[in-house]
Structure 1
């Protein structure tokens, strides 16, 4: 399968982003996966974490992400690292439908209850 993010012209750049995330995870004393789940959890009450797992030890690791606290500065840093402009190469090789083809309205247009 052709995965543009892992092609040589993009891989070194994206590897640097991964290393920055790992450094933050190390400072937060968590895994990079826990940091990613914590980032999603900190998006607001309109987001619900649903990590899939088939092993109890992975479930326990995922659950520990809820105790990872992120500052607004850390959230901003993670946002910048995960932005569409920061990561080089498409996620898929153009053969799969992605969010770009969706009709999901922009989050700013949603009405909270």
Structure 2
């Protein structure tokens, strides 16, 4: 993230609500179709899902204290990362859009930021499965190694 900041490039946080996981936890899977894309993502495999449900429950503890939803807390955490970070939560419902906008008014302390980040660090399972290329597959050198031409 340092390189994009050094270059003044904004950061779009895609699917910041964990593809709906932050709004409902494992309940998200109760009504999925048999061939739904989510069922194939590593974070939602049985060996990772129970662990990640525990993290979801821990995220719900601070949001209850702050009077917000877990989705709002996740978005607020992203908003606190800097003015160059723009979360891109998808929604099809106006009520969810309004809740997402409500995240802008949530103020987090440094301690709350650290607590949320520590939970994010222990999520099990990759974001995408095999065969999907992401920034992790990039061989872009560090900005500090670039030479002026």
Larger fraction in strand: 2
What's the CA shift for 1:3?
A: 2.2
Indicate whether 1:15 and 2:57 are aligned. no
After superposition, where does 1:1-113 map in structure 2 within 5 Å? 1-83=39-121, 86-102=122-138
In the superposition, relative to structure 1, how do residues 103 and 41 fare at CA in structure 2: closer, same or farther (>3 Å)? Answer: farther
Q: TM-score, normalised by structure 2?
A: 0.61
What's the CA shift for 1:53?
A: 3.1
In the superposition, relative to structure 1, how do residues 66 and 13 fare at CA in structure 2: closer, same or farther (>3 Å)? Answer: same
Does 1 or 2 have the higher relative contact order (CA < 8 Å, sep 6+)?
1
Counterpart secondary structure, 1:49: strand
The superposition leaves residues 11-67 of structure 1 with CA deviations (integer Å, 9 ceiling, x where unpaired) of 221111111011111111111110111001000112123333333222211111011
Counterpart secondary structure, 1:27: helix
Counterpart secondary structure, 1:48: strand
Q: TM-score, normalised by structure 1?
A: 0.78
5+ residue gaps in structure 1?
108-113
Cα separation, 2, equivalents of 1:43 and 1:18: 20
What's the CA shift for 1:99?
A: 2.9
5+ residue gaps in structure 2?
1-38, 144-149
What's the CA shift for 1:2?
A: 2.5
Instruction: Compute the RMSD of aligned alpha carbons.
Output: 2.4
